[in-house]
Amino acid sequence: MADMKMMNSPNPFIKKKRPAVVNFHQNVSDFISPKKQKRENMPGLISADGSQQKPNLVRPGFMQDERKKLPIFAVRPRLVEEIQKNDTLIVIGETGCGKTTQIPQFIHESKLGKDGIIAITQPRRVAAVSLSKRVAKEMNVPIGDTVGYTIRFEDVTTEKTKLKYMTDGMLFREALLDELLMKYTVIILDEAHERSINTDVLFGIVKKAQRLRAENAKSPLKVIIMSATMDVDHFSKYFNNAKVLYLEGRQYPVTVLNAKQPQNDYIQSCLSTIFQIHLDGPPGDILVFLTGQDEIEGVAHTVRLAAKECKQTLRTLPLYSAMPMQMMENVFRPTPPNERKVILSTNVAETSLTIPGIKYVIDSGHVKARVYQPNTGLDLLKVQKVSQEQSWQRTGRAGRESAGTCYRVFTKEQFNELPKFTTPEILRCNLASVMLQLLHLGVDAYDFDFMDKPSQEALDAAVSQLKMLGAIESQETRKLTSLGSKMAQFPLDPRLSKILISSKTYNCTEEILTIVALLSGESVFLNSLNNREEATERHKKFFSSEGDHITLLNVYHAFNSFKTQKKTCAENYLNYRNLVFASDVRKQLAQICEQNKIPLSSCGQNTELVRKCLISGYFMNVAELQREKKYILVESKQRVRIHPSSVLHRTLPHYILFSEVVHTSQAYIRQLSIVDPELLNEVAPNYFRQHRLGTKD
Ligand SMILES: Nc1ncnc2c1ncn2[C@@H]1O[C@H](COP(=O)(O)OP(=O)(O)OP(=O)(O)O)[C@@H](O)[C@H]1O
């Protein structure tokens, strides 16, 4: 039975309830396997063995019975009472205890938020969508009716919607239109520990809205901050010493197993653990946490090859944020009887999600995180070790429908050495985008009430970037120009919105829409280690000597001409999913262009205009660049050379670096930056070796 305590907890997490941690060897034969057990009947709608009823055949009351089994249900009256009494509440409770699905329903059922909408924010789209669908099922209403969701480029809500699951980015954008967020009576900031830039900014926005609305005394706003692993004292202090509710208890236990010795290669360790479970473990699906799309595709390839040798089918499903939503939903499908699925995921599945059937979690202990380099102005994606809270969140993806096991491919000692909390994104990323949005809201980031204030250096760098893009009048006044106000309309990096707006002048909006949409996702080229040569050969027909952007255009045009898109993409080593994602994004961006009176004109074959537009989109003022002497321009990963833009070529003695070139072939334009060549060896030593690029022309 769950027990609820109210306290200003000195402990950041709910330690008392952590499962015992057992050591395991990484060698295949040397596991301490979880106790053999018969697969339990899954309480959810869909079980991993597919043997249960389909959602539309659920017997009446089934979901309500399931709800009542959740630990949180036992403390419902007390929770409702506390929500009623307190305008701000911090709720910390075990993963899977029912915070995200139940608390909004409790509020709705008790008519606490009846005069408006209850918003529940999530750091990621996939969570917002899957949670809203789950809650709609529990309430037995169609999605979009009483329960809906809003994510970037997709709004599934109606006037009837009372429970709205949304990404924090979307609530932030709504605040741009109404800083008091009047349509909401309750705002639940879920997974607050994630501390994404948007979440941190929302903390300040919501806190201010609450204060202003309290002054009116007419329409108070309730704010609930939730997580399983947050630094409660820090949060409580920021939210004016808000009361902390401490929920104990989880529905099913999770056994945590650590590697006995440090592992040299976490990918190898994950692979051997997958097959150890598959060959010897009781039924149940596996969720593996890896770092990025390339790594996942590589591991998926290896797993598929090795799985051919196994008697029982092992379905391999990748999961990463750049996948189109429909494809992400594949991971939620029940696994056919006598099969097992393994989901290879980035940290997109780390919080919030319940993936039906998951009994085993494998934590590689690594994550790819954005890290800002103040000396270069770059955000780099770096593989690094997770924090303890991330690791506990990963553990919490098991034990949601039945008892589970989490394999950590690192030792207990290594775990203890991990930082307890993740550094908030706001302290490690480029702030230009958030600063632009705040200015649009009439707020100067220098005066903003951040929970953890970014450094002066990082704020100054953002201002200087916005000035360079022409979004603000001067670095001193930081007043938005009309261009800046327009840029803030687009849910894009400011550099990309600038390019889109500039495309009107060059009559190439159709082409730029395609390029920007493709740059908003992950690479459209498939390049796994095993087929690199063949893939490169197939890709040649798309390459343009005019650069990667035109190459991308060629790919997109070809994609649209394919009769059987999925099959032809596979034949050409193109990533079908990423192309579908890009075409969705493109449609949404086209709508925003139309709303902003940017006609959808095309320059046809005149790609020179596209290139000019891209360059002008980055720099208002070439003189700005000329003042700098040591810049490097790298055109693409495929061809390392000075960008052919005549303006830049002639005026600049050196180069400019498109920073993310080191990561993906076409993502560089997202992160255009100017870099001292000497820093390049630090940023991309392998890249240099590979291309024999000197530090000077
Ligand atoms: N899509 C789903 N399919 C099956 N069961 C689900 C689903 N979503 C939720 N559940 C059930 O409801 C429980 C509570 O989920 P919920 O997301 O509310 O927990 P939570 O406390 O918010 O967890 P977390 O801190 O991990 O976000 C899960 O443990 C699981 O048993």
Q: How many CB atoms lie within 10 A of CB 696?
A: 11
Lowest mean pLDDT, pick from 459-468, 507-516, 521-530, 596-605 = 521-530
Rounded to two decimals, the pTM is 0.74
- Spatial separation of the C-alpha atoms in residues 126 and 129, rounded to whole Å: 5
The 10s digit of each residue's pLDDT in 261-289 is 999 899 999 999 999 999 999 999 999 99
pLDDT score, position 627 = 44
Q: Which burial class, exposed, middle or buried, applies to 41 when counting CB atoms under 10 A from its CB (0-12, 13-18, 19+)?
A: exposed
Q: What's the chain's length in residues?
A: 697
Ordered domains of the chain (ranges, CATH): 61-247 (3.40.50.300), 254-425 (3.40.50.300), 430-483 (no CATH), 490-696 (no CATH)
Highest mean pLDDT among 5-19, 51-65, 165-179, 603-617: 165-179
pLDDT score, position 65 = 79
Q: How many CB atoms lie within 10 A of CB 481?
A: 17
Does pLDDT of 447 surpass 80?
A: yes
Using CA positions, which residue lies closest to atom 7 of ligand 1? 354
- Spatial separation of the C-alpha atoms in residues 456 and 170, rounded to whole Å: 27
- Spatial separation of the C-alpha atoms in residues 252 and 229, rounded to whole Å: 18
Does pLDDT of 20 surpass 50?
A: no
pLDDT score, position 373 = 54
- Percentage of the chain surpassing pLDDT 70? 77
Q: What's the gap in Å between 76 CA and the centre of ligand 1?
A: 16
Return the higher-pLDDT residue of 525 and 275.
275
pLDDT score, position 685 = 40
- Spatial separation of the C-alpha atoms in residues 626 and 615, rounded to whole Å: 14
- Long-range pairs, 675-682, Cβ under 8 A, ≥24: 675/376, 675/377, 675/378, 675/631, 675/632, 676/376, 676/630, 676/631, 677/630, 677/632, 678/630, 679/375, 679/376, 680/632
528 — pLDDT class (breaks 50, 70, 90):
low
- Spatial separation of the C-alpha atoms in residues 125 and 325, rounded to whole Å: 8
615 — pLDDT class (breaks 50, 70, 90):
low
Residues 6+ apart with CB under 8 A from 63: 45, 137, 138, 140
The 10s digit of each residue's pLDDT in 318-343 is 998 877 777 788 899 999 988 999 99
Q: What's the gap in Å between 200 CA and the centre of ligand 1?
A: 24
Does pLDDT of 643 surpass 90?
A: no
Using CA positions, which residue lies closest to atom 17 of ligand 1? 100
pLDDT score, position 618 = 55
Strands 88-93 and 243-248: parallel
Does pLDDT of 686 surpass 70?
A: no
pLDDT score, position 530 = 66
As for the ipTM of the complex, it is 0.98
Average pLDDT, the chain: 79
- Phi, psi at residue 524, to the nearest 5°? -90, -5
Closest-lying ligand 1 atom to the alpha carbon of residue 130: 1
pLDDT score, position 533 = 83
Amino acid (1-letter code) at residue 664: T
Number of H helices, E strands in the chain: 26, 20
Q: What's the gap in Å between 278 CA and the centre of ligand 1?
A: 25
Are the C-beta atoms of residues 151 and 129 closer than 8 Å to each other?
Answer: yes
Does pLDDT of 630 surpass 60?
A: no
pLDDT score, position 98 = 92
Q: Which burial class, exposed, middle or buried, applies to 411 when counting CB atoms under 10 A from its CB (0-12, 13-18, 19+)?
A: middle
Using CA positions, which residue lies closest to atom 10 of ligand 1? 354
Does pLDDT of 599 surpass 70?
A: yes
pLDDT score, position 265 = 93
**DSSP annotation string for 509-568:** HHHHHHHHHHHTS--SB---GGGHHHHHHHHGGG--TT-HHHHHHHHHHHHHH-SSHHHH
> To test the ligand 1 pocket, which listed residue (400, 401, 402, 406) has its Cβ within 8 A of the most ligand atoms?
400
Q: What's the gap in Å between 96 CA and the centre of ligand 1?
A: 5
> To test the ligand 1 pocket, which listed residue (354, 355, 391, 395) has its Cβ within 8 A of the most ligand atoms?
354
- Percentage of the chain surpassing pLDDT 90? 51
Return the higher-pLDDT residue of 467 and 657.
467
532 — pLDDT class (breaks 50, 70, 90):
confident
Radius of gyration for the alpha carbons in the chain, expressed in angstroms and rounded: 25
Highest mean pLDDT among 71-75, 229-233, 408-412: 408-412
pLDDT score, position 672 = 35
Using CA positions, which residue lies closest to atom 12 of ligand 1? 98
Burial 656-683 (b: 16+ CB within 10 A, else e): bbbbbbbbbbbbbbbbbbbbbbebbeeb
Q: What's the gap in Å between 352 CA and the centre of ligand 1?
A: 7
Using CA atoms, how far residue 578 sits from 303, 536, 540, 562, 574, in Å, is: 22, 18, 19, 15, 9
Using CA positions, which residue lies closest to atom 2 of ligand 1? 354
Does pLDDT of 44 surpass 90?
A: no
217 — pLDDT class (breaks 50, 70, 90):
low
Does pLDDT of 681 surpass 90?
A: no
pLDDT score, position 384 = 92
116 — pLDDT class (breaks 50, 70, 90):
very high
Pocket of ligand 1 (CB under 6 A): 44, 70, 93, 95-102, 130, 134, 228, 251, 351-352, 354, 356, 396, 400-401
The 10s digit of each residue's pLDDT in 296-313 is 988 998 999 999 989 899
Return the higher-pLDDT residue of 22 and 69.
69
The 10s digit of each residue's pLDDT in 424-446 is 989 888 888 899 989 998 889 99
Does pLDDT of 492 surpass 90?
A: no
Closest-lying ligand 1 atom to the alpha carbon of residue 93: 21
Does pLDDT of 652 surpass 60?
A: no
Using CA positions, which residue lies closest to atom 8 of ligand 1? 354
Q: What's the gap in Å between 351 CA and the centre of ligand 1?
A: 10
pLDDT score, position 611 = 76
pLDDT score, position 83 = 95
Residues 6+ apart with CB under 8 A from 596: 486, 489, 501
pLDDT score, position 375 = 46
Return the higher-pLDDT residue of 411 and 369.
411
